[in-house]
Amino acid sequence: MSLKTRWLASMWGVILGGIVITTIASSSLSIIGLGLLLLPLLGFIVWRLVNDMVRELTETQRRLAYSEKMAAVSQLAAGVGHEINNPITYVSANLGFATEILAELSGTSRTADSPPLPPEVAEQLREVSEALREAQDGAQRVARIVRDLRTFAQPGNAAGQLVEIRSIIESALKLASNPLLLRARVFCDFQVEIRVRAPEARLVQVFMNLLVNAAQAIPPGHVEENEVRVTTSLGTEGFIVVEVSDTGQGMPPEVLKRLFEPFFTTKPVGQGTGLGLSICRNVIEGMGGTLTVRSTVGKGSAFRITLPEAGPLGAQFPQDAGAALRG
Protein backbone atom coordinates (compact mmCIF):
# COMPACT_ATOMS: atom_id res chain seq x y z
CA MET A 1 0.00 0.00 0.00
CA SER A 2 1.43 3.40 -0.95
CA LEU A 3 1.92 6.24 1.49
CA LYS A 4 -0.88 8.25 -0.18
CA THR A 5 -3.31 5.34 0.13
CA ARG A 6 -2.47 4.85 3.80
CA TRP A 7 -2.95 8.58 4.43
CA LEU A 8 -6.39 8.59 2.78
CA ALA A 9 -7.40 5.48 4.72
CA SER A 10 -6.28 7.11 7.96
CA MET A 11 -8.23 10.28 7.24
CA TRP A 12 -11.39 8.31 6.48
CA GLY A 13 -10.84 6.46 9.76
CA VAL A 14 -10.70 9.75 11.63
CA ILE A 15 -13.86 11.03 9.92
CA LEU A 16 -15.84 7.85 10.51
CA GLY A 17 -14.58 7.62 14.08
CA GLY A 18 -15.63 11.20 14.68
CA ILE A 19 -19.09 10.55 13.28
CA VAL A 20 -19.56 7.50 15.47
CA ILE A 21 -18.31 9.21 18.61
CA THR A 22 -20.36 12.34 17.88
CA THR A 23 -23.50 10.27 17.38
CA ILE A 24 -22.98 8.40 20.64
CA ALA A 25 -21.91 11.29 22.81
CA SER A 26 -23.61 14.33 21.22
CA SER A 27 -26.11 14.69 24.06
CA SER A 28 -23.57 14.73 26.86
CA LEU A 29 -20.18 15.88 25.50
CA SER A 30 -19.01 19.31 24.47
CA ILE A 31 -16.88 19.95 21.38
CA ILE A 32 -13.81 20.21 23.60
CA GLY A 33 -14.58 16.86 25.16
CA LEU A 34 -15.05 15.31 21.74
CA GLY A 35 -11.71 16.74 20.65
CA LEU A 36 -10.03 15.19 23.69
CA LEU A 37 -11.50 11.84 22.74
CA LEU A 38 -10.19 12.12 19.18
CA LEU A 39 -6.76 13.45 20.14
CA PRO A 40 -5.16 10.04 20.96
CA LEU A 41 -6.51 8.61 17.71
CA LEU A 42 -5.08 11.51 15.71
CA GLY A 43 -1.76 11.19 17.52
CA PHE A 44 -1.56 7.50 16.70
CA ILE A 45 -2.37 8.13 13.02
CA VAL A 46 0.26 10.88 12.75
CA TRP A 47 2.81 8.61 14.43
CA ARG A 48 2.05 5.81 11.96
CA LEU A 49 2.32 8.15 8.96
CA VAL A 50 5.63 9.61 10.15
CA ASN A 51 6.95 6.13 10.89
CA ASP A 52 5.98 4.93 7.39
CA MET A 53 7.58 7.98 5.79
CA VAL A 54 10.83 7.43 7.70
CA ARG A 55 10.88 3.75 6.73
CA GLU A 56 10.28 4.52 3.05
CA LEU A 57 12.94 7.25 3.05
CA THR A 58 15.42 4.85 4.70
CA GLU A 59 14.69 2.18 2.09
CA THR A 60 15.06 4.73 -0.72
CA GLN A 61 18.41 5.87 0.68
CA ARG A 62 19.57 2.25 0.96
CA ARG A 63 18.64 1.54 -2.66
CA LEU A 64 20.33 4.74 -3.82
CA ALA A 65 23.51 3.89 -1.93
CA TYR A 66 23.48 0.38 -3.37
CA SER A 67 22.98 1.73 -6.90
CA GLU A 68 25.87 4.15 -6.47
CA LYS A 69 28.08 1.35 -5.13
CA MET A 70 27.16 -0.92 -8.03
CA ALA A 71 27.89 1.86 -10.51
CA ALA A 72 31.32 2.41 -8.95
CA VAL A 73 32.07 -1.32 -8.93
CA SER A 74 30.94 -1.63 -12.55
CA GLN A 75 33.22 1.23 -13.58
CA LEU A 76 36.12 -0.34 -11.70
CA ALA A 77 35.39 -3.75 -13.26
CA ALA A 78 35.34 -2.26 -16.75
CA GLY A 79 38.67 -0.50 -16.18
CA VAL A 80 40.35 -3.55 -14.66
CA GLY A 81 39.01 -5.80 -17.42
CA HIS A 82 40.30 -3.48 -20.12
CA GLU A 83 43.74 -3.14 -18.52
CA ILE A 84 44.15 -6.89 -18.06
CA ASN A 85 42.72 -7.93 -21.43
CA ASN A 86 45.59 -6.68 -23.62
CA PRO A 87 48.53 -8.14 -21.65
CA ILE A 88 46.76 -11.47 -21.09
CA THR A 89 46.25 -11.70 -24.85
CA TYR A 90 50.00 -11.30 -25.38
CA VAL A 91 50.74 -13.83 -22.64
CA SER A 92 48.37 -16.41 -24.12
CA ALA A 93 49.76 -15.95 -27.64
CA ASN A 94 53.38 -16.23 -26.49
CA LEU A 95 52.63 -19.29 -24.37
CA GLY A 96 51.04 -20.93 -27.39
CA PHE A 97 54.06 -20.08 -29.52
CA ALA A 98 56.49 -21.41 -26.90
CA THR A 99 54.49 -24.62 -26.61
CA GLU A 100 54.66 -25.17 -30.38
CA ILE A 101 58.42 -24.58 -30.49
CA LEU A 102 58.96 -26.87 -27.54
CA ALA A 103 56.90 -29.57 -29.26
CA GLU A 104 59.22 -29.33 -32.27
CA LEU A 105 62.28 -29.73 -30.06
CA SER A 106 60.86 -32.60 -28.02
CA GLY A 107 59.95 -36.07 -29.20
CA THR A 108 56.26 -35.22 -29.69
CA SER A 109 56.82 -33.83 -33.17
CA ARG A 110 60.23 -35.19 -34.16
CA THR A 111 60.53 -37.39 -37.24
CA ALA A 112 61.92 -40.90 -37.30
CA ASP A 113 65.12 -39.60 -38.92
CA SER A 114 65.80 -37.13 -36.07
CA PRO A 115 68.61 -38.10 -33.70
CA PRO A 116 67.34 -39.09 -30.24
CA LEU A 117 67.65 -36.57 -27.44
CA PRO A 118 69.71 -37.35 -24.36
CA PRO A 119 67.45 -38.68 -21.58
CA GLU A 120 68.17 -35.75 -19.26
CA VAL A 121 67.33 -33.23 -22.00
CA ALA A 122 64.12 -35.07 -22.90
CA GLU A 123 63.10 -35.05 -19.21
CA GLN A 124 63.79 -31.31 -18.91
CA LEU A 125 61.78 -30.60 -22.07
CA ARG A 126 58.92 -32.65 -20.65
CA GLU A 127 58.97 -30.66 -17.41
CA VAL A 128 59.07 -27.35 -19.28
CA SER A 129 56.21 -28.48 -21.49
CA GLU A 130 54.14 -29.36 -18.42
CA ALA A 131 54.92 -25.97 -16.87
CA LEU A 132 53.82 -24.21 -20.06
CA ARG A 133 50.53 -26.14 -20.08
CA GLU A 134 49.87 -25.08 -16.50
CA ALA A 135 50.69 -21.48 -17.43
CA GLN A 136 48.26 -21.70 -20.36
CA ASP A 137 45.54 -22.99 -18.05
CA GLY A 138 46.17 -20.06 -15.71
CA ALA A 139 46.10 -17.57 -18.58
CA GLN A 140 42.80 -19.02 -19.81
CA ARG A 141 41.35 -18.67 -16.32
CA VAL A 142 42.42 -15.02 -16.19
CA ALA A 143 40.85 -14.51 -19.63
CA ARG A 144 37.57 -15.98 -18.37
CA ILE A 145 37.65 -13.68 -15.35
CA VAL A 146 38.22 -10.70 -17.67
CA ARG A 147 35.21 -11.74 -19.77
CA ASP A 148 33.13 -12.00 -16.60
CA LEU A 149 34.27 -8.55 -15.50
CA ARG A 150 33.33 -7.02 -18.86
CA THR A 151 29.96 -8.77 -18.84
CA PHE A 152 29.34 -7.53 -15.29
CA ALA A 153 30.27 -3.98 -16.25
CA GLN A 154 28.21 -3.93 -19.46
CA PRO A 155 25.32 -6.37 -19.03
CA GLY A 156 23.01 -4.87 -21.65
CA ASN A 157 25.23 -4.30 -24.65
CA ALA A 158 24.42 -7.50 -26.52
CA ALA A 159 21.65 -7.20 -29.10
CA GLY A 160 18.43 -8.98 -28.25
CA GLN A 161 16.54 -11.38 -30.46
CA LEU A 162 13.34 -13.41 -30.21
CA VAL A 163 14.14 -16.72 -28.52
CA GLU A 164 12.06 -19.55 -27.11
CA ILE A 165 12.53 -19.75 -23.38
CA ARG A 166 12.22 -23.54 -23.49
CA SER A 167 15.08 -23.93 -25.97
CA ILE A 168 17.23 -21.62 -23.84
CA ILE A 169 16.63 -23.76 -20.75
CA GLU A 170 17.26 -27.00 -22.65
CA SER A 171 20.58 -25.65 -23.95
CA ALA A 172 21.60 -24.68 -20.43
CA LEU A 173 20.61 -28.13 -19.13
CA LYS A 174 22.85 -29.81 -21.71
CA LEU A 175 25.80 -27.61 -20.74
CA ALA A 176 25.27 -28.26 -17.03
CA SER A 177 24.39 -31.95 -17.37
CA ASN A 178 27.63 -33.34 -15.89
CA PRO A 179 27.42 -31.72 -12.43
CA LEU A 180 23.63 -32.08 -12.35
CA LEU A 181 23.32 -35.78 -13.10
CA LEU A 182 25.94 -36.68 -10.49
CA ARG A 183 23.99 -35.05 -7.67
CA ALA A 184 20.25 -34.94 -8.38
CA ARG A 185 17.35 -35.87 -10.59
CA VAL A 186 16.30 -33.09 -12.96
CA PHE A 187 12.64 -32.24 -13.61
CA CYS A 188 11.28 -29.68 -16.06
CA ASP A 189 7.74 -28.30 -16.04
CA PHE A 190 7.17 -26.07 -19.06
CA GLN A 191 3.70 -24.75 -18.33
CA VAL A 192 3.90 -22.19 -21.14
CA GLU A 193 5.57 -22.07 -24.55
CA ILE A 194 6.63 -18.46 -24.85
CA ARG A 195 9.26 -16.25 -26.41
CA VAL A 196 11.31 -13.42 -24.95
CA ARG A 197 13.52 -10.80 -26.52
CA ALA A 198 17.01 -11.36 -25.18
CA PRO A 199 20.66 -12.00 -26.16
CA GLU A 200 20.54 -15.78 -26.46
CA ALA A 201 24.11 -16.55 -25.35
CA ARG A 202 23.84 -14.46 -22.20
CA LEU A 203 20.48 -15.90 -21.24
CA VAL A 204 21.88 -19.42 -21.63
CA GLN A 205 24.80 -18.33 -19.43
CA VAL A 206 22.39 -17.14 -16.73
CA PHE A 207 20.45 -20.41 -16.58
CA MET A 208 23.60 -22.52 -16.79
CA ASN A 209 25.04 -20.59 -13.84
CA LEU A 210 21.89 -21.12 -11.78
CA LEU A 211 21.78 -24.83 -12.64
CA VAL A 212 25.44 -25.39 -11.76
CA ASN A 213 24.94 -23.52 -8.48
CA ALA A 214 21.93 -25.71 -7.74
CA ALA A 215 24.01 -28.83 -8.36
CA GLN A 216 26.87 -27.58 -6.19
CA ALA A 217 24.45 -26.91 -3.33
CA ILE A 218 23.63 -30.64 -3.20
CA PRO A 219 26.15 -33.06 -1.64
CA PRO A 220 27.23 -35.80 -4.07
CA GLY A 221 26.21 -39.40 -3.70
CA HIS A 222 22.46 -39.13 -3.07
CA VAL A 223 21.04 -38.65 -6.54
CA GLU A 224 17.69 -40.36 -5.89
CA GLU A 225 17.06 -38.28 -2.77
CA ASN A 226 17.58 -34.87 -4.35
CA GLU A 227 16.15 -32.93 -7.26
CA VAL A 228 16.64 -29.82 -9.31
CA ARG A 229 13.43 -28.50 -10.82
CA VAL A 230 12.89 -25.90 -13.55
CA THR A 231 9.40 -24.48 -14.08
CA THR A 232 8.01 -21.83 -16.41
CA SER A 233 4.71 -20.02 -15.95
CA LEU A 234 2.89 -16.84 -16.87
CA GLY A 235 3.25 -14.04 -14.36
CA THR A 236 1.37 -10.76 -14.18
CA GLU A 237 1.48 -7.67 -16.38
CA GLY A 238 3.02 -9.38 -19.39
CA PHE A 239 5.87 -11.14 -17.60
CA ILE A 240 6.89 -14.78 -17.62
CA VAL A 241 8.32 -16.55 -14.59
CA VAL A 242 11.11 -19.13 -14.60
CA GLU A 243 12.08 -20.79 -11.33
CA VAL A 244 15.15 -22.94 -10.70
CA SER A 245 14.85 -24.77 -7.37
CA ASP A 246 16.91 -27.40 -5.59
CA THR A 247 16.77 -29.57 -2.49
CA GLY A 248 20.28 -28.66 -1.43
CA GLN A 249 21.74 -27.31 1.78
CA GLY A 250 20.06 -23.91 1.60
CA MET A 251 21.53 -20.61 2.74
CA PRO A 252 21.33 -18.70 6.04
CA PRO A 253 19.97 -15.11 6.11
CA GLU A 254 23.45 -13.56 6.44
CA VAL A 255 24.49 -15.20 3.13
CA LEU A 256 21.23 -14.26 1.38
CA LYS A 257 21.80 -10.59 2.23
CA ARG A 258 25.08 -10.54 0.29
CA LEU A 259 24.36 -13.17 -2.33
CA PHE A 260 24.21 -10.80 -5.30
CA GLU A 261 27.12 -8.60 -4.21
CA PRO A 262 30.00 -8.66 -6.70
CA PHE A 263 33.01 -10.72 -5.55
CA PHE A 264 31.08 -12.30 -2.66
CA THR A 265 31.45 -16.08 -2.59
CA THR A 266 31.13 -18.90 -0.08
CA LYS A 267 33.42 -21.16 -2.10
CA PRO A 268 37.04 -21.83 -1.09
CA VAL A 269 39.77 -19.53 -2.38
CA GLY A 270 40.54 -20.26 -6.03
CA GLN A 271 37.21 -21.95 -6.76
CA GLY A 272 35.04 -18.93 -7.45
CA THR A 273 35.29 -15.24 -8.32
CA GLY A 274 31.99 -14.24 -6.71
CA LEU A 275 30.81 -12.65 -9.96
CA GLY A 276 28.43 -15.33 -11.22
CA LEU A 277 25.19 -14.26 -9.53
CA SER A 278 26.03 -10.56 -9.86
CA ILE A 279 26.39 -11.04 -13.60
CA CYS A 280 23.15 -13.05 -13.72
CA ARG A 281 21.18 -10.31 -11.97
CA ASN A 282 22.73 -7.57 -14.12
CA VAL A 283 21.96 -9.48 -17.32
CA ILE A 284 18.35 -10.14 -16.30
CA GLU A 285 17.78 -6.56 -15.16
CA GLY A 286 19.31 -5.36 -18.44
CA MET A 287 16.50 -7.28 -20.18
CA GLY A 288 13.87 -5.54 -18.07
CA GLY A 289 13.39 -8.46 -15.67
CA THR A 290 14.15 -9.41 -12.07
CA LEU A 291 16.14 -12.13 -10.30
CA THR A 292 15.25 -12.98 -6.70
CA VAL A 293 15.94 -15.88 -4.36
CA ARG A 294 14.41 -17.56 -1.35
CA SER A 295 16.17 -20.21 0.70
CA THR A 296 15.78 -22.30 3.83
CA VAL A 297 18.72 -23.96 5.54
CA GLY A 298 18.47 -27.71 5.17
CA LYS A 299 15.64 -27.58 2.63
CA GLY A 300 17.07 -25.88 -0.45
CA SER A 301 16.85 -22.72 -2.53
CA ALA A 302 14.76 -21.35 -5.37
CA PHE A 303 15.86 -18.64 -7.82
CA ARG A 304 13.00 -16.81 -9.53
CA ILE A 305 13.45 -14.96 -12.82
CA THR A 306 10.84 -12.72 -14.39
CA LEU A 307 11.19 -11.49 -17.98
CA PRO A 308 8.93 -9.46 -20.27
CA GLU A 309 7.21 -11.84 -22.65
CA ALA A 310 7.51 -11.21 -26.39
CA GLY A 311 4.45 -13.31 -27.22
CA PRO A 312 3.28 -16.90 -27.68
CA LEU A 313 4.83 -19.23 -30.22
CA GLY A 314 3.36 -18.77 -33.67
CA ALA A 315 2.64 -15.08 -33.21
CA GLN A 316 3.84 -12.64 -35.84
CA PHE A 317 6.30 -10.01 -34.67
CA PRO A 318 7.16 -6.81 -36.55
CA GLN A 319 10.79 -6.03 -37.25
CA ASP A 320 10.96 -3.41 -34.49
CA ALA A 321 9.18 -5.50 -31.83
CA GLY A 322 10.67 -5.00 -28.37
CA ALA A 323 12.24 -1.64 -29.24
CA ALA A 324 11.24 -0.34 -25.81
CA LEU A 325 13.25 -3.10 -24.18
CA ARG A 326 16.29 -2.36 -26.30
CA GLY A 327 16.10 1.27 -25.34
Q: Is the pLDDT of residue 15 over 60?
A: no
With bands split at pLDDT 50, 70 and 90, how would you rate the model's confidence at 307? very high
Q: What is the CA radius of gyration of the chain?
A: 30
Pairing of strands 239-246, 161-164: unpaired
Closest CA relative to residue 259, chosen from 320, 213, 324: 213
What is the structure's pLDDT at 314?
43
> Do the Cβ atoms of 179 and 217 come closer than 8 Å?
no
Coil vs helix vs strand at 15? helix
pLDDT digits (tens, 9 = 90+) for 68-113: 665 666 666 667 777 777 788 878 888 888 888 877 776 555 555 5
> Do the Cβ atoms of 145 and 262 come closer than 8 Å?
no
| Domains in the chain: boundaries | 1-154, 161-326
pLDDT digits (tens, 9 = 90+) for 150-203: 655 555 545 567 889 998 899 889 888 888 988 999 999 988 778 888 888 788
Count H helices, E strands: the chain? Answer: 9, 7
pLDDT digits (tens, 9 = 90+) for 24-36: 555 555 555 555 5
pLDDT digits (tens, 9 = 90+) for 47-79: 778 877 888 777 777 666 656 665 666 666 667
CATH number corresponding to 161-326: 3.30.565.10
CB burial of 201-240 (b: ≥16 within 10 Å; e: otherwise) equals ebbbbbbbbbbbbbbbbbeeeeeeebbbbbbbeebeeebb
Instruction: Give the span between the Cα atoms of 222 and 211, in whole angstroms.
Output: 17
Q: Is the pLDDT of residue 149 over 70?
A: no
> Do the Cβ atoms of 242 and 165 come closer than 8 Å?
yes
- Can you spell out the DSSP letters for 69-80? HHHHHHHHHHHH
Residue 24 burial (CB count, 10 A): 11
